[in-house]
Amino acid sequence: MSTNNNQDHDVPKDHPRYESLQYRHEIIEGMKKLIVAEAGLIAHGRGECFDYMLGEKTSEIAKEAITAAVALLILSKNPIISVNGNVAALCPKKVVELSKIINAPLEINLFYRKEGRIEAIKKVLEDAGAEMILGTDETKMVEIEELSSNRRNVDPNGIKIADVVFVPLEDGDRTEALKNIGKKVIAVDLNPISRTSLWADITIVDNIVRTLPEMVNVAKKLKNSEEKELKYILEKFDNKKNIQASLDTIIQYVKRQKEDAFKILKD
């Protein structure tokens, strides 16, 4: 009987969509190892669609949001990085590196609970060099009452006590709940008008696979900056304007693509 298990994912390096296909491969392999939820494949596809409309590159606008996000994380007393299946599969090394540079623990927090997933994600993070991972002992978890999804179960030493929560790509309901209990939220979401994007204090409209390496670079530069310099970065940053500018980037890109497409499409 044929199955989906052993598909050949070899992508020739000169394929025009080589990188994008490689990340698809990571997500699919992650799903086979329980790291990624089945729905994570669909979430990834939705992200790809927005990324296409952003020209598949990190805009200057996103870089401004990244700098503000890093400044906020460094200034915070108890920052935390929430990790889900997609992030663990796509960029384990960079998420661990960022966590170490800014001294923000990693907490596994999942929407789709399934036996073995937490262990699989823990392993991939440990293999990437993580030393302390929160959210792994289900018997010790506490609830955030404002949330009805599985994400309400959080670590008492992590998200529960955090002042700033970094939530790379995820579903919409949590950011609102976290805001309602007084947390500051930094989100990465390729969709600039998702509920997560609109509710976050700082919204990075970019692909997590590009955002995390950029955050690591910025964190290395800002790590020893003076408090007043970091506060100044935050004062200058306007999330609403930043989201508007990301939407404009998409609109302009689609317009240019339309012109190019019509040069190819003959009457």
Class of residue 188 by CB neighbours under 10 A (exposed 0-12, middle 13-18, buried 19+): buried
- Total chain residues near ligand PTJ (CB under 6 A): 25
Determine which residue in the list 99, 175, 194, 242 makes contact with ligand PTJ, applying CB under 6 A: 194
Interface pattern 44-63 for ligand PTJ (x via CB under 6 A): x-xx--x-------------
Determine which residue in the list 52, 63, 112, 146 makes contact with ligand PTJ, applying CB under 6 A: 112
Shortest Cβ distance from residue 220 to ligand PTJ (Å)?
22
Contact (Cβ atoms closer than 8 angstroms) between residue 234 and residue 68: yes
* Residues near 68 by beta carbon (within 8 Å), at least 6 away in sequence: 202, 233, 234, 236, 237
Determine which residue in the list 31, 43, 61, 233 makes contact with ligand PTJ, applying CB under 6 A: 43
- The footprint of ligand PTJ on residues 77-106 (CB under 6 A) is 84-86
Q: DSSP characters for 121-184? A: HHHHHHHTT---EES--GGG-EE-TT--SGGGEE-TTTGGG-SEEEEES--SHHHHHHHHTT-E
- Find the part of the chain contacting ligand PTJ (CB under 6 A) among 3-11, 108-116, 155-163, 239-247: 108-116
Interface pattern 148-167 for ligand PTJ (x via CB under 6 A): --------------------
CB nearer ligand PTJ, residue 112 or residue 253: 112
- R_g of the chain, CA atoms, integer Å: 19
Residues that bind ligand PTJ (CB under 6 A): 37, 39-40, 43-44, 46-47, 50, 84-86, 110-112, 169-171, 188-191, 194, 207-209
